[in-house]
Amino acid sequence: MIHGVRTFVPLLMQQTEAYIVNTASVAGLVAAPFMGPYNASKHAVVAISETLHHELAMSAPQVKVSVLCPGWVNTKIADSARNRPGHLQEGVAPDADAAALLRGFIEQGMPPDEVAAKVLDAMREERFWILTHDEQGDFWVDGVNQRLRSLEARANPRLGLPL
């Protein structure tokens, strides 16, 4: 993502209008257990996107920025290890139970075409935050709201997700 920003933002700033959508995850808004490196990388995408949003609003307001924070989406992400180079696969044995649980969540996830429609709607509205699972009562929304309440109260974080 950083390389994309460095490469394309200067070019986009020369356009009469442009749009950047960076993909993070709801894990960029909440910190679920056993996902530290993933959470950190997604929080970074959110922070860089928000910074870029402010900077471009000041220097190139014709370039809009959004950050996509999807919950479970029915993709092939559970099979992503297939892309890991052979020399990095040695000694990496996925936990079969965790993999099955992850696969189950993903298979029940939102279809990618619904995510795409939400992205297009957000772009039309020039909305920075794109949360795919945005209905009250949805455990992603509840997890984000729990984090916000915890922060506001200066309270220790509580796990607001059913994991």
User: Which residues are tagged catalytic?
Assistant: 38
Q: Taking a C-beta distance cutoff of 8 angstroms, is the pair 115, 132 a contact? A: yes
Cα dist from 162 to 62, 75, 110, 140, whole Å: 40, 21, 17, 9
Residue 143: closest CA among 32, 20, 23, 48: 32
107-126 burial: b if 16+ Cβ within 10 Å, else e = eebbeeeebeebbeebeeee
Q: How far is CA 76 from the centre of its chain?
A: 16
Q: What is the token pair recorded at 112?
A: 């990618």
